[in-house]
Each structure stands twice: as C-alpha cells, then as structure tokens.
C-alpha cells in the first residue's frame, strides 16, 4: 500500500491503538538498523576464518539486503525498506559517513607523507596514473556498450571511471597488513606510505569529478560553474590550513588531559566543526564528506587531542552508523541489471583492467627501485585494495547521475572482488622468510660456558600495559652485569588486533618514535613518568634498547614473540603475568585478561629460548631504576629445589648478585637425609595450596638422576663463589610451608624460582607457573613479594598430562 511521504510521522501510538510501527519513521529506522547490524556481524563472523576485512562483510551484507537478493521478495522490500524510508536511512548513514571521513583525515599525517621516501612517492604515482588511464579506456568501452551511459558528458564520466579504478583504500589496507603481520615490516611501511599519498590524490581527483559533474547538471552546461566550484574548494582548503589549523593547535594545547579528563566544550566544538565543514563544502558544490575529511587533516596530530577524538567517536561511528551506509549502497545495487554474456564480459573486463593497471604499474616502478620481485608483486596486489572510499565515489557518481544502475553494479562488484582476493593472493605469493632457527645462546648457561668474556645478553621484554614498565625496568637493571656480558634489551609492545582501525594506524604512525607504544598508553603524569624512565634507561652505559611492536590477534600473538626471539637470537624472554595487583593498600587483584594467560602459555611451550614470567606486586615502584652506584638495595631471594629450570634461575641470580644495589639470598631445600630422590611425587594438600589447574604437565624425557644431582651441586658451588650472597639450607620436611613462610616474611622484594618440568618427590606442577610459582602467586596467602618464574629452554621435550594427588 503506497504511503504519502508528507503524512509520515516520527513515532506511532502503539500496537494497542492499531498502529503498525513499521509505518512510522523512527520505529522502522530501528528495525532497519538492527537488521543491518545483525546481518553484517554474522557475515563478518563467517568471513573471519578467511581473514577478510570487515568491509567485505558490510558490502556483501548491503548487497544481500538490497534488490539483488532478499529484495527480490517485493513484500519484504516494501515493508522493511520502503521507498519513502530511503531518504531517512541515507541521512543517518551520511552523518556516520561524515564523521568516518573526519576520522580518516585524523589518521592521515601530512607531515609523514611529505617525509615519505622516493620509493613510496613513485609507487603511489604509478598506482594512480596507470589505473587512471586504464579507467579512461574502460569508460570509452562502457559508453559504447551500456545503454544510457552515453547520455553523460565525456569529461565527468571519464574522471569518475579513472578515480574508481585508481583508488587504494587506506584504512582497509592497514587492516589487511595487520592481519598478515606485515604492518611493521619494510614492505608494510612502503605500502602504507604509498596508500596515504594515493588517498590524498584520490580526494583531489574526486573533488575535480564532482565539480565537473555539477557544471553539467541542472538542465544547462556551463563550464564556468566547474571553475567556480574548484576555486571555491581551493579557497576552503586554504582557509582550513591557514586559519583553522592554528586555531585547532590552540584547542589541542588547551586539551592536555589532567587526570584523564578533557573539557567537553572543546570536544563538542570540534564535532560541530565537522558538521559546519560538511555544510560549507556542500554549499560550494563539493560533497559534504570532503569538508569533513579536510577538517580532519587540519587537526594537529602531535599530542593527545587527535587520539582523544578518535576514542570518543570511533566505536559509535564505525560500529553503528557506517554499516547503514553500506546497506544504503546495497539497496542501490541490483546485480540483476547485469544481464547477458556481454554484461558479464564487461564485468570481467573491468576487473581484469583494474587489477592489471594497479598491479603492473606498481610492480614496474617497484622493480625500478630495486625491490625484489616477490615484494614488488605483493605491493601491486596490496595497492589494488578497494573499500569504503570506492563505494563513496560510486555513490556520488550515481547521485550525480554520472553512473547508471548497470555501471554502478559492475563497479561495486569490481571493488568487492579486488578487495576479497587481496589477502589470499598475498598469502600465496609472499611469505616472509623466517630464516634458519638459531640455536646459539638460547639459555643463560650458554653465555657462562662459552669462552668469550664479552658475550651479549639479549633480553626480550614484552609489555601490554603501562603498569608493566617500572617493574621490568627495575628487573632489567638488576640483571645488568658489570663484568660478564653486554646487555641488549628488545622491548616489544603487544597490541591486540581488534576491529578498531585507529589502533593500527596510530601505532604504525608513531612506530618510528623511539618508544612507539607510549602514544597509546594512559595519558597524564603517569604516562610522562614512564616514558621518561624508559628513555632515560636507554642512555645507561652498556645497555642498548631496541623497540618493536607486535599487532596480532590474541590467538597468534605468541608467534610474533617467538619469531622475534628467534630472529634476534634472544636469550631470555620476560613476560608479564596476566594478573596484576593494584597498589591501593588492600592488595586488590585485577585479572587483566585470560587471553594474555593463553599467550604466556603458548610462549612457554614454543619459545626457542628461556622464558621468565614476572608476577609484579610493586617491584621497582618505590625506587625505580637504581643505578650501579646507587645505595638503594633490592632484596632478592632465589628458591632452589634442583633441576634445569632451577639452575637457570640460579644463573640469572648470579648475574643479579653482581649488581652493587641488589642483595641476593639463595635458599636451598634439601631432604632430611641430604639426598635428592626423584622417584615419586609428594601429595599436595588442598589446604596447603590453591592451584588454578589440577592437571599438571611433566616432561617424559628420561632423566639421569645422578647427572642432575651433580649439575645441581656444581651450579650451587659456582653461585656461592659470587661475592656478597647469602646461602641458606632448609630441610624439606614441608616444602610448601617453607615457601609460604619465605613469601609471607616480607624480607624480599623479588623471589626467583624455576618452573620445574620434571617429576620430583618434593612438589607437583601447574601448567603455567609450576607448583612453587603457583603457590607464591595465589592471592589467598598474603604474599607481597613479586615473583619471577623461569623456564629453561631444553629443546624438544615431550610432555604428558598426569593428575596430581590433590
């Protein structure tokens, strides 16, 4: 039943009074929004195993909801998406699009583009010019083949086709690079820089295309209109960068957050500026999104203001409003318009021409810059990524009546196909060489047993929260030997790969900074203090600090850690424990994430070197960064029961003992008869310990008990030769009570223990920290000391699951 649009009301009186909510604007908008979100999220879930970006699911979802699929049912189409609701849905979607393009402008740093390498500039120019020329050639073919395509003037049609084929989607490319773990590689750097240049050039060309289209509409053709539109657009851009940019710098300085609070007036003022900028460019005759994009470019990227804006609006815009735009585009896309072999042949021609222009143009220039063949071909495929910007261009072209229904459908399918094939193609042709696994210096003991006295101790410290930093700085400083070896520290910031593109862009933007992860940390005095501590520590003698960033899904984060450890010949990996204690006087426990626990467990299993898990209870919070000449003393206790892991803990303790500001005590548990039997496990009482996992894993590798005993005695004897260490022996009548007594004594700032992977008659073992570490970590025992649990790398050690006698 047709509805008079002038009689449409916002809300109904309710079903009890006989009103159908779907005949009213707002209830229908709610139903449409929910349906769109459900379909797009379901498709995103389905495409996730294929490692496709979310934009693919949103484009496909929009097409399915439109006349190409579900819309073939006219009853559904007229009830859920009636013609009178289209302006309302598109208006709401346009608001989301406006702010999304503002976010894109915020994420683009013009200064970094200006500093871009010659290779990135050359690749970007080739990636625009050749596809643009190919687009012009395709435009001539389409005009002669598709009915009605020749009714549009040559100029605007040629420019729209050229822009449609030459665009590279900057945000979508960032997501694909992150998914493929290429974002922080040299190839990723070149691709991102070239895509950023391509993005800016595409918007300039789009403004030109819109200006040309406006000069030939309204029933008259006046080329002066296009000239006035272009001049007005240039004046707008000049005004934004000459007048508004200094004003926004002043606003950004005023918005330095104090205690994580920002004046809401400045945020609201900026968001209003987005709307005003969109209105002005629409008034000029250029699409309103151009104004929002330029306003985003004009906001300074230094400081925290841009990050605050992104955090405030990104989830709402990208998660809720943007899918509406894809749905609105899908409602305009009718695949049924592509009829006959000739039309499908045109689709194949457009796809092949678009791919060939991008890939061949980029490949040729990359080869000229002496980039290897595989990398050059991969760059070409990556630069062929389309996405939201492509849809924007096509929708504007359809809105300006430059593209008819068939041309529009062909180009939408082209954008979908080229983006869909990017990830599998790159995975096929480019797999970064992992190199031959290095087996030297994989344990701390290896450094001691080698002949050279200047061996390099390489430590990989992983950080995923700013609260990890002080304790890691203090621990690294304590291990900085003054006699044996040079220390090289690799700091890896672990960033979870989420659906928020801004985290990827911002981390990539600042990764050339000495410490890239600080820009995403909690802001304010704490942030400044942490940054200064790490930057100051990097200047200390004989310590070389090298930062790196891992942006991965939690399920594959351990692969990045292990790869860096193998590639950099790391001796020891330091991981923060997944549980943190907040220092508020009551010892509150904060469980950061079980996902981080899974990461730690996988690293412990697959690491090519020794691994230490740091359970931080304020180690280094009072006296950060003690220097070699400092009188401040940290008290460290090493608990020794015997075995490879305990010997590795003892080796680290020997290095710590060389630091003049650290006091080390070794407490060795021995049996009553003075022997160490390794035949059976002592049962553990539930009253004595609270293990989170009652299934323990032990190595099935056969041990030579006599050899192990000799190695233990040798390690202890060597350690006791270190000057300034205390040595104590405890009779192991009850190991657990003895360990708890040490932990509850408050005599030590840090307790170092071995994980212990072999069966012992003293203790049974937890899968993550081992039995002693699990006891010391439990929040039920009132232990205040920080704990460092060490696992020695022992090559291939098969494990079997056994049930403890708890």
The Cα–Cα gap between 263 and 255 comes to 7
Identify which of 251-255, 275-279, 602-606, 697-701 has the greatest average pLDDT.
275-279
Task: Tell me: pLDDT of 796 over 60.
Answer: no
Question: Quick one: pLDDT at residue 276?
Answer: 95
Least confident of 203-217, 501-515, 597-611, 783-797: 501-515
Task: Tell me: pLDDT of 676 over 80.
Answer: no
Question: Quick one: pLDDT at residue 220?
Answer: 52
Question: Quick one: pLDDT at residue 352?
Answer: 94
Integer CA distances (angstroms), 738 to 90, 644, 676, in order: 70, 21, 17
The SS3 call for residue 620 is: coil
Task: Tell me: pLDDT of 482 over 70.
Answer: no
Task: Tell me: pLDDT of 650 over 50.
Answer: yes
Least confident of 366-380, 511-525, 773-787: 511-525
The SS3 call for residue 131 is: helix
pLDDT interval class at 443 (50, 70, 90):
low
Question: What are the φ/ψ torsions at residue 624 (nearest 5 degrees)?
Answer: -80, 140
The mean pLDDT of 273-299, rounded to a whole number, is 91
pLDDT tens readout for residues 50-102? 888 888 898 899 899 989 889 888 899 889 999 888 889 999 999 999 998 89
The mean pLDDT of 681-706, rounded to a whole number, is 44
Question: Quick one: pLDDT at residue 6?
Answer: 57
The mean pLDDT of 393-416, rounded to a whole number, is 88
Question: Quick one: pLDDT at residue 697?
Answer: 42
Which residues have C-beta within 8 Å of that of residue 793, sequence separation ≥ 6? 442, 443, 607, 608, 609, 610, 611
Percent over 90 (pLDDT), the chain: 16
- Closest by CA to 201, choosing from 135, 121, 292, is 121
Question: Quick one: pLDDT at residue 367?
Answer: 92
- Which of residues 122 and 483 earns the better pLDDT score? 122
What is the DSSP-derived secondary structure letter of residue 568? T
Percent over 70 (pLDDT), the chain: 75
Using the structure block, give the residue that is written with the tokens 């890939």.
Answer: 359
The mean pLDDT of 765-772, rounded to a whole number, is 66
- Closest by CA to 403, choosing from 415, 421, 386, 418, is 415
- Which of residues 314 and 33 earns the better pLDDT score? 33
Average pLDDT of the chain, as a whole number: 77
Sheet holding 486-496, edge to edge: 543-552, 486-496, 456-463, 572-576, 610-615, 786-791, 750-754, 634-640, 662-670, 725-731
Judging by DSSP bridges, how do beta strands 579-582 and 588-591 pair with one another?
antiparallel
Residue 253: other Cβ atoms inside 10 A: 12
Task: Tell me: pLDDT of 688 over 70.
Answer: no
Question: Quick one: pLDDT at residue 622?
Answer: 55
Question: Quick one: pLDDT at residue 711?
Answer: 83
Task: Tell me: pLDDT of 275 over 90.
Answer: yes
The Cα–Cα gap between 512 and 112 comes to 11
pTM of structure: 0.73
pLDDT interval class at 144 (50, 70, 90):
confident
pLDDT tens readout for residues 717-749? 888 777 778 888 887 677 788 888 888 888 888
Which residues have C-beta within 8 Å of that of residue 169, sequence separation ≥ 6? 55, 195, 385, 386, 387, 388, 389, 390, 419
Identify which of 277-281, 323-327, 468-472, 753-757 has the greatest average pLDDT.
277-281
pLDDT interval class at 350 (50, 70, 90):
very high
E strand segments, 634-724:
634-640, 662-670, 695-699
Residue 803: other Cβ atoms inside 10 A: 9
E strand segments, 196-321:
none
Question: Quick one: pLDDT at residue 527?
Answer: 38
pLDDT tens readout for residues 509-544? 444 433 333 333 333 333 344 445 556 666 655 567
- Closest by CA to 730, choosing from 718, 750, 749, 745, is 745
What is the DSSP-derived secondary structure letter of residue 498? -
pLDDT tens readout for residues 230-265? 889 889 999 999 999 999 988 888 776 554 556 788
Strand partners, 456: 486
Nearest 5 degrees, angle CA 537-CA 540-CA 542?
Answer: 125
The Cα–Cα gap between 53 and 387 comes to 9
- Which of residues 712 and 153 earns the better pLDDT score? 712
Task: Tell me: pLDDT of 580 over 70.
Answer: yes
- CB burial string 25-34: b at 16+ within 10 A, e below: bebbbebbbe
Question: Quick one: pLDDT at residue 435?
Answer: 41
The mean pLDDT of 177-189, rounded to a whole number, is 78
Crossing angle, helix 223-239 and helix 288-298, to 10 degrees? 30
Question: Quick one: pLDDT at residue 93?
Answer: 92
Q: With DSSP H G I counted as helix, E B as strand and the rest as coil, what are the percentages for the chain, rounded to 5?
A: 55, 10, 30
The mean pLDDT of 209-216, rounded to a whole number, is 69
Task: Tell me: pLDDT of 625 over 50.
Answer: no
Task: Tell me: pLDDT of 38 over 90.
Answer: yes
């Amino acid at each position: 039943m047709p509805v008079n649009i002038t009689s449409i009301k916002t809300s109904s009186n309710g079903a009890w009074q006989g009103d159908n909510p779907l005949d009213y604007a707002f209830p229908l908008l709610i139903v449409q929004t929910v349906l769109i979100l459900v379909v797009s999220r379901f498709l995103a879930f389905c495409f996730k195993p294929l490692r496709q970006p979310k934009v693919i699911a949103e484009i496909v979802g929009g097409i399915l909801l439109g006349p190409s699929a579900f819309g073939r049912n006219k009853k559904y189409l007229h009830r859920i998406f009636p013609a009178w609701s289209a302006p309302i849905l598109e208006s709401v979607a346009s608001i989301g699009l406006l702010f999304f393009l503002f976010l894109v402008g915020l994420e683009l740093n013009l200064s970094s583009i200006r500093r871009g390498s010659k290779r990135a500039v050359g690749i970007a120019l080739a990636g625009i010019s050749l596809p643009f020329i190919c687009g012009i050639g395709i435009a001539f073919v389409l005009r002669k083949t598709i009915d009605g395509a020749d009714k549009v003037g040559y100029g605007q049609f040629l420019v729209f086709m050229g822009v449609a084929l030459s665009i590279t989607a900057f945000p979508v490319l960032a997501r694909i690079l992150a998914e493929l773990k290429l974002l922080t590689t040299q190839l990723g750097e070149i691709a991102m820089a070239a895509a950023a240049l391509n993005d800016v050039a595409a918007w300039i060309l789009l403004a030109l295309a819109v200006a040309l289209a406006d000069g030939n509409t309204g029933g008259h053709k006046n080329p002066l209109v296009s000239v006035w539109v272009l001049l007005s657009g240039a004046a707008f851009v000049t005004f934004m960068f000459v007048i508004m940019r200094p004003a926004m710098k002043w606003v950004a300085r005023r918005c330095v957050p104090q205690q994580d609070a920002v004046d809401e007036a400045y945020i609201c003022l900026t968001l209003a500026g987005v709307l005003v900028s969109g209105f002005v460019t629409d008034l000029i005759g250029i699409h309103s999104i151009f104004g929002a994009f330029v306003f985003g470019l004009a906001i300074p990227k230094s400081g925290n203001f841009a990050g605050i804006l992104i955090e405030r609006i990104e989830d709402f815009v990208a998660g809720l409003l943007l899918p509406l735009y894809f749905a609105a585009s899908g409602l305009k896309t009718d695949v049924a318009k592509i009829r006959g072999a000739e039309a499908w042949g045109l689709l194949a021609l457009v796809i092949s021409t678009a791919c060939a222009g991008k890939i061949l143009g980029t490949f040729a220039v990359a080869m000229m810059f002496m980039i290897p063949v595989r990398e050059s071909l991969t760059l070409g495929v990556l630069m062929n990524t389309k996405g939201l910007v492509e849809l924007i261009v096509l929708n504007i072209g359809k809105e300006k009546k430059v593209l008819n229904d068939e041309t529009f459908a062909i180009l939408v399918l082209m954008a979908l196909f080229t983006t869909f094939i990017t990830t599998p193609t790159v995975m096929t042709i480019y797999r970064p060489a992992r190199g031959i696994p290095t087996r030297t210096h994989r344990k701390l003991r290896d450094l001691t047993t080698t002949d050279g006295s200047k061996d390099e101790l390489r430590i990989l410290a992983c950080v995923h929260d700013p609260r990890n930093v002080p304790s890691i700085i203090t621990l690294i400083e304590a291990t900085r030997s003054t006699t044996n070896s040079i220390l090289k520290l690799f700091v890896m910031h672990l960033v979870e790969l989420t659906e928020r593109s801004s985290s990827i862009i911002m981390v990539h933007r600042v990764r050339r900074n000495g410490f890239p992860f600080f820009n995403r940390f909690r802001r304010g005095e704490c942030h400044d203090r942490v940054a200064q501590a790490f930057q100051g520590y990097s200047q200390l003698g004989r310590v070389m600090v090298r930062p790196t960033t891992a942006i991965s899904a939690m399920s594959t984060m351990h692969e990045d850690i292990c790869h860096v450890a193998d590639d950099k010949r790391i001796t020891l990996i330091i991981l923060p424990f997944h549980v943190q204690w907040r220092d508020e006087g009551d010892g509150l426990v904060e469980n950061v994430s079980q996902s981080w626990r899974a990461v730690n467990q996988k690293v412990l299993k697959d690491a090519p070197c020794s691994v230490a898990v740091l359970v931080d209870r304020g180690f280094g919070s009072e006296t950060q960064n003690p220097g070699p000449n400092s009188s401040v003393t940290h008290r460290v206790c090493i608990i020794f029961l015997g075995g490879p892991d305990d010997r590795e803990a003892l080796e680290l303790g020997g290095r710590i003992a060389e630091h003049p500001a650290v006091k080390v005590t070794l407490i060795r548990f021995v049996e009553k008869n003075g022997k160490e039997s390794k035949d059976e496990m002592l049962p553990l009482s539930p009253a004595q310990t609270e293990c989170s996992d009652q299934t323990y894993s032990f190595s099935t590798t056969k041990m030579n008990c006599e050899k192990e005993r000799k190695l233990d005695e040798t390690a202890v004897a060597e350690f006791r030769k270190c000057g300034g260490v205390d040595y104590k022996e405890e009779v192991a009548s009850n190991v657990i009570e003895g360990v708890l007594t040490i932990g509850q004594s408050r005599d030590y700032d840090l307790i170092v223990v071995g994980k212990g992977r072999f069966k012992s008659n003293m203790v049974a073992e937890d899968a993550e920290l081992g039995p002693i570490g699990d006891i010391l970590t439990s929040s039920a025992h009132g232990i205040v000391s920080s704990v460092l649990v060490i696992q020695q790398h022992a090559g291939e050690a098969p494990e079997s699951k056994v049930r403890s006698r708890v």
